[in-house]
Chains A and B, each alone.
Chain A
């Protein structure tokens, strides 16, 4: 009877032990500096790039 009562607790403990031993990484965002730098450079180049030349409007009178 006592064994029947403790068995679920023991199983739960065993599962918890396994979980603690092989725990997943906590959620978090990590941005690689080099990748961020590359992205920033690209964005900067796009911002300072001259506008696309457009055909000049000719007044058709």
Chain B
């Protein structure tokens, strides 16, 4: 996992020009596929960079080597019936990232196995951002194999999304950091909006994580914060992310989050 995270971080640092996920791994290695599943949508972050800035790696389609590799990872490690919410969201995030960042030419894109506990996909034809918004909470997902209704436009408009509104700030921050890979632009707009509504709580969570020396959580929360509006200047987020990266002792996942935060800014400060 460290190798993959390092590869992605290096690609983000250098603009992603020659990035190829398939070049980082042995294709049939189940451990490598597990690493992809754990890192989630972040393994395709350099492609998102390409979309956002017009640069990035040379275009690959979902049928290319990277797309096939991600598909294998999704098929090898689908969330089971007793899987955690985070696992399901991460699964769907990776599937959506494949559709979004490695678009297939003229076909429906990802067609791997669906998770046992839900996560069926809505009809094709919707923008990928809208398609993911329904899965903000697993309660929104219907039974296995059935299509899910799209989430209301409001990010925290249903009872199923209650954790975004009601979770205590330490828990919110922990979960937000677990879902940091979904902070890629356009991937989970409803989740981003829901978290943006709790910017102050995330800022408290960032400080808490730093004080607990939980660098991975701090970097993950920082990734959402760079996208959030009205982040207080007193937080010192930019310097804080540099500090977190240095203090992590070269943890590749922390470096990945820190570089992704730098590469995909948004929101603003006050």
Q: How far is the CA of A23 from the CA of B38 in the complex (A)?
A: 11
| B interface, over-half SS | helix
B87 contacts which of A9, A13, A22 (Cβ < 8 Å)? Answer: A22
What is the size, in residues, of chain A's interface with B at 8 Å between Cβ atoms?
A: 16
The residues of A that contact B90 with a CB separation of less than 8 Å are 21
Cross-interface CB contact of B214 among A10, A18, A22, A28, cutoff 8 Å? A28
Quick check: is A20 within 8 A (CB to CB) of the other chain? yes
Scoring A residues 2 to 38 as 1 if CB is less than 8 Å from chain B, else 0, what string do you get? 0000000110011011101111011011100000000
User: Is B246 an interface residue, CB under 8 A from the partner?
Assistant: no
Min distance, Cβ A40 to any Cβ of chain B, angstroms = 17
**How near does chain A come to B8, taking the closest CB pair, in angstroms?**
16
Please name the residue on chain A nearest to B217 by beta carbon.
A25
**Chain A residue at smallest Cβ distance from B208:** A30
Question: Cβ of A22 and Cβ of B38 under 8 Å apart?
Answer: no
Are A16 and B34 within 8 A (Cβ)?
yes
Main secondary structure of the interface of A (DSSP, over half): helix
Q: Report the tally of A-B residue pairs with Cβ distances under 8 A.
A: 49
Q: In the bound complex, how far is the Cα of B115 from the Cα of A9, in angstroms?
A: 21
Q: How far is the CA of A28 from the CA of B170 in the complex (A)?
A: 13
Chain B min CB distance to A18 (Å)? 6
Task: Report how far A14 CA is from B30 CA in the complex, Å.
Answer: 10
| Contact pattern, B 13-46, Cβ under 8 Å of A = 1, otherwise 0 | 0000000000000000011001001101000000
Let me know if B87 and A18 touch, CB within 8 A. Answer: yes
Q: Are A28 and B212 in contact (CB under 8 A)?
A: yes
A45 to B170, CA, bound (A): 31
Measured CB to CB, the closest approach of chain A to B4, in angstroms, equals 13
A26 with B37: in contact, given A21-B86, A21-B90 (CB under 8 Å)? no
How near does chain A come to B24, taking the closest CB pair, in angstroms? 18
Q: How far is the CB of B206 from chain A (nearest CB, A)?
A: 12
Give 22 pairs: A residue, B residue, CB < 8 Å, sorted on A: A10-B30, A13-B30, A13-B31, A14-B77, A14-B80, A18-B80, A18-B84, A18-B87, A20-B38, A21-B37, A21-B38, A21-B86, A21-B178, A22-B85, A22-B86, A22-B87, A25-B217, A26-B212, A28-B212, A28-B213, A28-B214, A30-B212
